[in-house]
Amino acid sequence: MTTITRFAPSPTGRLHVGNIRTALHNWMLAEKAKQDGGSGKFMLRIDDTDPERSKEKYVEAIRADLAWLGIHPDGEERQSERLEHYEKAFDALVEAGRLYRCYETAQELDLKRKVQLGRGKPPIYDRAGLTLTDEDHAAKEAEGISPHWRFKLDHEEVIDWADGVRGPQKFDPAMLSDPVVRREDGSWLYMLPSAVDDIEMGITDVLRGEDHVSNTAVQIQMFRALKAADIGDSDCPVESASPHFAHEALLVGKEGKLSKRLGSLGCDAFRERDIEPQAIIALLARLGTSQPVEPIADINVLLETFALETFSRAPAKFDDADLDRINTALVHQMEYADVKDRLPEGMGEEAWHAVRPNLETVSGAHDYWKIVTGPIELPEFSDEDREYLKQAAANLTWGDNPWGALTGALKNATGRKGKALFLPLRQALTGQNFGPDMGDLLPVLGEDVARRRLERASGME
């Protein structure tokens, strides 16, 4: 079995968390096919037919964001380089009588919809363009009015498909508007170029948001019309007239409503917060499924449990707190080799393992390294604590477990225990009331630094 999926962003802005989830799931669908013994291919298609809004900087940003996440397309196509393919399909559909010209303005269409709603009817296009005669078209042309083009749905052909997430779907085409596929200025809308590309790129599976369900109903007839017009490669691996479709529930904010914030939350924002790409993958891979969201860094583990059957139809709630929780857990799992190039100069493996349990992000290691390299700011100590720290400096010995030896000797000598035993020592050695395990941190400080800090805190310097 061959599975070919695609991610088709428009380069009009940065990828946001919803886009990222769609890209990830399509990539996982292709990778899952490989894991199951078949072949899989994930394509990136840049939908840049709108030259006014499409920017090259966003094309580059899309590629960079996917690479940062570890999502590597097996190929890339750009719609701006495929315009002749759309022209060919357009001509064939006109010849087949599946496209027709219309002239209504946006205001006229809006008025028609309001009238229909007022009469309790569905606000679908009334197909007035089909009643125009050759003389009508000639008159419009003489006035300098260019048409827009609609795809004519076949009202006799019921639309149905087995959706990979939503189950059996059925639409009455008479209850859908014939979609506009080309504007008055000759530019393309989404529908027709997308269908042509899916056929010619051999796309077998389309996984996208549930807001595209009605688009899918329309496109299924479009696929059949294009196939009938012999558009595309006859060797295309798509076995049926159209790909297999699946529509996943949309992301919502933690408050349960669609959030504008999700539209601005992307890889650049995640990088600023020092979120690990593995944390984003771990969260989004299972968000909205029956699988538990866990701090799993190994993509193969996530692929093993990836299945459309686990996807829920309920909205998937994205919560920053969940992402932070997963990120922290993954940081605690990371080995020195994974992070050494991101740590402050001089920070070695021993120091990383000492501070790692206290980190929420890798960049937090810089703050703890300042404690090691100094200088540190000391609190005010009581006379009793200064005398205690003088004893600590005198009792400091160095071996396999200097912290255990020091606290053991002080406990026996002073009778202190608990907070009274440990806190003054931590404060004198780090300037902090809490932090990494001192048994791990003290060897990183070293004997000379530790002794000097204890002497300074006791007032001996």
> Do 47 and 8 contact (CB within 8 A), yes or no?
yes
Is it the case that residue 8 has pLDDT exceeding 90? yes
Whole-number pLDDT of residue 231: 76
Is it the case that residue 244 has pLDDT exceeding 50? yes
> Who contacts 238 (Cβ-Cβ below 8 Å, separation ≥6)?
198, 199, 202, 203, 204
Whole-number pLDDT of residue 260: 66
> Who contacts 149 (Cβ-Cβ below 8 Å, separation ≥6)?
90, 99, 100, 101, 102, 180, 181, 182
Model pLDDT for residues 281-328, shown as the tens digit of each residue: 999 999 999 999 999 999 999 999 999 999 999 999 999 999 999 999
Give the strand pairing for 251-253 and 244-248.
Answer: unpaired
| CA quadruple 51, 55, 56, 62: dihedral sign | negative
Is it the case that residue 241 has pLDDT exceeding 80? no
**Quick check: helix, strand or coil at residue 124?**
coil
Q: Cα(13)–Cα(54) distance, rounded to whole angstroms?
A: 8
Average pLDDT of the chain is 94
Q: What percent of the chain has pLDDT over 90?
A: 92
Is it the case that residue 239 has pLDDT exceeding 70? no
Q: Give all strands (DSSP E) within 8-113, no chain letters.
A: 39-46, 75-78, 99-102
Check whether 55 is labelled as a binding-site residue.
no
Q: What is the mean pLDDT of residues 198-214?
A: 96
Domains of the chain (ranges, CATH numbers): 251-333 (1.10.1160.10), 336-372 (no CATH), 374-458 (1.10.10.350)
The residue among 384, 425, 368, 420 whose CA lies nearest residue 402 is 425
User: Omega into 402 within 30° of 0, i.e. cis?
Assistant: no
Model pLDDT for residues 263-284, shown as the tens digit of each residue: 778 999 999 999 999 999 999 9
Whole-number pLDDT of residue 235: 47
Is it the case that residue 1 has pLDDT exceeding 90? no
**pLDDT interval class at 454 (50, 70, 90):** very high
Higher pLDDT, 52 or 256: 52
> Do 99 and 68 contact (CB within 8 A), yes or no?
no
Give the range among 133-137, 165-169, 248-252 with minimum mean pLDDT. Answer: 248-252
Whole-number pLDDT of residue 234: 44
Q: Cα(145)–Cα(125) distance, rounded to whole angstroms?
A: 20
Phi/psi at 101 (5° precision) = -90, 145
For 349-359, letters b (16+ CB in 10 Å) and e give eebbebbbebb
Give the range among 81-90, 252-261, 433-442 with minimum mean pLDDT. Answer: 252-261
Using alpha carbons only, give the angle 327, 307, 63 rounded to the nearest 5 degrees: 55
Q: Cα(85)–Cα(69) distance, rounded to whole angstroms?
A: 32
Q: What is the mean pLDDT of residues 448-452?
A: 96
Phi/psi at 150 (5° precision) = -115, 150
> Who contacts 53 (Cβ-Cβ below 8 Å, separation ≥6)?
10, 12
**Quick check: helix, strand or coil at residue 133?**
coil
313: Cα within 13 Å, side-chain hemisphere: 7
| CA 419 to each of CA 104, 274, 455: distance values in angstroms, whole numbers, following the listed order | 80, 34, 20
Is it the case that residue 237 has pLDDT exceeding 60? no
Please report, for the chain, how many H helices and E strands are present, in that order. 19, 12
Q: Cα(313)–Cα(121) distance, rounded to whole angstroms?
A: 28
Whole-number pLDDT of residue 261: 74
The residue among 165, 164, 173 whose CA lies nearest residue 220 is 173
Is it the case that residue 96 has pLDDT exceeding 90? yes
The secondary structure of 241-254 as a DSSP string is SS-EEEEEPPEEET
Q: Cα(216)–Cα(202) distance, rounded to whole angstroms?
A: 17
Q: Cα(450)–Cα(149) distance, rounded to whole angstroms?
A: 79
Q: What percent of the chain has pLDDT over 70?
A: 97
Q: Would you give the distance in Å from CA 162 to the centre of its chain?
A: 26
Q: Which residue has the tokens 């529930």?
A: 249
Whole-number pLDDT of residue 199: 95
Whole-number pLDDT of residue 232: 65
